[in-house]
A and B are shown apart, each in its own frame.
Chain A
């Protein structure tokens, strides 16, 4: 089942054109990586899918509905199906982990799922810790637990494992894949880790200069002769940042 369909998406910030034609589709349960240099429009694209930003031209369909002119009620219904981990990972500093889970469970009206995510993400030892006092890895883990708390149909992750040690990365990926398989959640993530794209993503989209220049499975891309995704990335992006 198709969850997301994006056609010829354009977005401007004032006179600056950030997205100049994005084509994208995602099906139920797929894990899709969005790659590209800093400043090419990855975050803007994800923020449009999160209903945080409007766009200029093009067509974006989420769960079969055009998102440009949603009513307040439709937007609220859609937001219940979407969740995210943003960069930087922050929540209310002066709330404890348990309190944050309870608060977001109220937002998404899913209080019955709190015990399950505490168990699945092994959060017991940190439940009384203030969010601000958690380490970077634990903050990501709690954020991910909150993202999956409502069993969303779509989860958007903005560089979810940046700066984490390999053990914590594995823990997070186990959870991402586990939840995606169990609840057929579509996961879209932006990342600079080509290793993760190769290991965990069903598909990958490369954005270059505001356009989607590649959109395929890592296997198909590698079958065209690249040694690994890192080589593919380096050969298809301009040297240096914006």
Chain B
């Protein structure tokens, strides 16, 4: 059953032109930004590839989860598909697991794609152990993003308002999550928003995981606690919303 659901979920994803475009744009941006800033050295002595390879992997994951998981939920809710599925004997946990596996597979493809570009275009040095740990880290952060996305989109009943929210979220995350310019050199107002933007922490953590500088102390620990608290709140909110609808 799970394999059939997963196969159908993947088919639906790859048949949606908008989703395909949304996972092609980040690698193109990765290449274009590399042409402009590829020779610079960033905070912590990191090269362009060391800083932006994990960043663009997270960006692909974010876009995939935001649109194909969160926005899709609203779409299915508003057109009645969700209700029809609910009255069938398939368990909601199976659908959730399929959704998580779908996100993991697609973000995994993004991971392989961006890393391959980094290795061949920017001479990125990677080891198998680093790849393995980074992929595990990506799955963990995918879970955080899935929870946050589900909680946010559980509020919406119409596609229009969800689309509006998606556009705003995408812009905010792009500007204050360290995906375009490092937050340290961004205007003050963006830095303030960046401090409460969970995607900023997701991006930072993944860069640490990727470069082997992950720590559970100081500022990083505060960030982990912040993400953990948000994840628990998001989970509680999803449960609450599910009960409220009955």
Residue numbers of A with Cβ under 8 A of B are 50-54, 76-77, 79-80, 82-84, 86-95, 99, 102-104, 106-109
Contact = CB atoms under 8 A, between A and B. Distances in A.
Nearest to A147: B84
B12 interface: yes
Nearest to A146: B84
Contacts of A79: 87-89
Interface stretch (B3-11, B36-44, B107-115): B3-11
A80 B11 CA distance: 26
Contacts of A109: 89
Contacts of A103: 4-5, 8
B35 interface: no
Interface stretch (B22-30, B53-61, B75-83, B191-199): B75-83
B88 A90 contact: no
B12 A104 contact: no
5 contacts: A54-B246, A76-B89, A83-B87, A104-B88, A108-B89
Contacts of A108: 88-89
B123 interface: no
Contact of B89 (A80, A87, A89, A95): A80
B90 interface: yes
Contacts of A89: 80
Contacts of A87: 80
Interface string B81-103: 10110111111000000000000
B138 to A, nearest CB: 26
Nearest to A53: B246
B16 interface: yes
Contact of A92 (B81, B87, B89): B81
A86 B81 CA distance: 9
A106 B1 contact: yes
B15 interface: yes
B87 A82 contact: yes
B12 to A, nearest CB: 4
Contacts of A76: 89, 91
B87 A99 contact: no
B72 to A, nearest CB: 10
A54 B12 CA distance: 32
A150 B144 CA distance: 37
Contacts of B8: 92, 95, 99, 103
A51 B89 contact: no
B79 A88 contact: yes
A231 B81 CA distance: 36
Contacts of B90: 107
Instruction: Indicate the member of B5, B76, B84 with the most A CB atoms within 10 Å.
Output: B84
A94 B16 contact: yes
A90 B246 contact: no
Contacts of A107: 1, 88-90
A3 B58 CA distance: 53
B239 to A, nearest CB: 15
A217 B11 CA distance: 48
A139 to B, nearest CB: 11
- Shortest beta-carbon contacts, A-B, top 9: A79-B89, A90-B79, A94-B15, A94-B12, A107-B90, A90-B80, A107-B88, A106-B4, A54-B246
Contact of A94 (B5, B11, B80, B88): B11
A99 B76 CA distance: 17
Nearest to B1: A106
Contacts of B12: 92-95
Instruction: Indicate the member of A84, A92, A99 with the most B CB atoms within 10 Å.
Output: A92
Contacts of B87: 50-52, 79, 82-84
A140 to B, nearest CB: 13
A84 B89 CA distance: 12
